Amino acid sequence: MRITLQIWRQPNAKAKGRMVRYEVPDVNPEMSFLEMLDVLNESLIAKGQDPVAFDHDCREGICGMCGFMIDGVAHGPRRGTTVCQLHMRHFKDGDELYLEPWRARAFPIVKDLVVNRSAFDRIVAAGGFITAPTGSAPDGNAILVPKEAADVSMDAAACIGCGACVAMCPNAAAALFTGAKITHLGVLPQGQPERYRRAVAMVAQAGAEMFGYCTNVGECEAVCPKDIKLEVIARMNRDFLKAVVTGRGTEPQ
């Protein structure tokens, strides 16, 4: 099949970008989307043109490194699928597709489809952990975790930190990402001692990174490749609110 691509090309963070049109004439329906871009890049290199830069690593949908907009939708048209796991059989011969990088103030563009998502790491560094220095742990079975809590925690912990939620959100909010981590740790017994402090610190950091605020649009849930539910945002808001009202999550001055 033949696919036409309109791709955002931008040499570096400071340069001006523009859409450039490319033809990929012999796309095999068994290819993944990224393999199609590999083929395009091989042909660009053969012609002496700069290949398209895009982030990717595991290509199994778990590392969270890949991701861009396809026709305005983060990770493209298939639900619960990263671009590395999206296959060309879901497109038609003659399709014309628009590829753009994640767009959010907190994710500055590095080159072409590559953006800088370090803001996510800083949100985690602010409080997305349980303080448990190596060697200090009691026996694994000393802490009972109800199966239901373990399941809710695991559902949230499945987040791969790809940034699709931010890219799709009209406010460029990081609420689904932040809420997922707050939920993962906050529903476990081990996570209780730092629960409120964590919520306050992470939400504050997300604000400092210039992510927007959540207005319950729900686009994030719709494009999340790991099906993280909006419920995690509700849990985040509840923990945050409770902390602020009671003053529990703030450091003593």
Partner 1 sequence: MELDAKVPAGPIETLWDKHKFDLKLVNPANKRKYNIIVVGSGLAGGSASATLGELGYNVQCFCFQDSPRRAHSIAAQGGINAAKNYPGDGDSIYRLFYDTVKGGDFRSREANVYRLAQISVEIIDQCVAQGVPFAREYGGLLDNRSFGGAQVSRTFYARGQTGQQLLLGAYQALERQIGAGQVKMYPRHEMLDLVVIDGRARGIVTRDLITGKIESYVADAVVLGTGGYGNAYYLSTNAKGSNVTASWRAYKKGALFANPCFTQIHPTCIPVTGEYQSKLTLMSESLRNDGRIWVPLKKGDKRPPNQIPAEDRDYYLERRYPSFGNLVPRDVASRNAKAVCDEGRGVGESGLGVYLDLSEAIQRLGKHVIMERYGNLFDMYERITGENPYEVPMRIYPAIHYTMGGLWVDYNLMSTIPGLYVIGEANFSDHGANRLGASALMQGLADGYFVLPYTIGDYLATSKQPKVDTSHAAFREVETQVACQTKRLLEIKGTRSVDSFHRDLGKLLWEYCGMARTAEGLRYALDKIVALRAQFWRDVKVLGTGEELNQSLEKAGRVGDFFELAELMCLDALDRNESCGGHFREEYQTPDGEALRNDAEYSYVAAWQYRGEGQPPELHKEPLHFDYVHPSQRSYK
Q: Which is nearer to partner 1, 79 or 215 (CB)?
A: 79
Stretch of 95-103, 136-144, 209-217, 234-242 contacting partner 1, by CB under 8 A: 136-144
Instruction: Identify the residue among 6, 9, 17, 62 touching partner 1 (CB under 8 A).
Output: 62
Min separation Cβ 226 and partner 1, Å: 9
Give the contact letters, 142-161, x = binds to partner 1 (CB under 8 A), - = no.
-xxxxx--x--xx--xx-xx
Min separation Cβ 131 and partner 1, Å: 7
Stretch of 95-103, 140-148, 208-216, 235-243 contacting partner 1, by CB under 8 A: 140-148
Residues 187-216 that bind partner 1 (CB under 8 A): 188, 190-191
DSSP the chain: --EEEEEEE-SSSSSPPEEEEEEE----TTSBHHHHHHHHHHHHHHTTPPPPP---SSSSS-S-----EETTEET-SSTT--GGG-BGGGS-TT-EEEEE----TTS-EEETTEE--HHHHHHHHHH-S----TT-PPPGGGS---HHHHHHHHHHHT-----HHHHH-TT-B-HHHHHHHHHHHHTSGGGSTTHHHHHHHHHHHHHHTT-B---S--HHHHH-TT---THHHHHHHHHHHHHHHHTTTSPP-
Residues 84-123 that bind partner 1 (CB under 8 A): 85, 87, 89, 110-111, 114, 116-118, 120-121
* 49 contacts partner 1 (rule: CB under 8 A): yes
In 3D space, the residue among 183, 173, 243 whose CA is nearest the CA of residue 215 turns out to be: 173
Min separation Cβ 128 and partner 1, Å: 6
Stretch of 25-33, 96-104, 211-219, 231-239 contacting partner 1, by CB under 8 A: 25-33
Stretch of 80-88, 208-216, 232-240, 243-251 contacting partner 1, by CB under 8 A: 80-88
Q: Which is nearer to partner 1, 63 or 217 (CB)?
A: 63
Distances, alpha carbon 176 to alpha carbons 172, 193, 224, 235, in Å: 11, 23, 9, 10
* 45 contacts partner 1 (rule: CB under 8 A): yes
Q: Which is nearer to partner 1, 58 or 241 (CB)?
A: 58
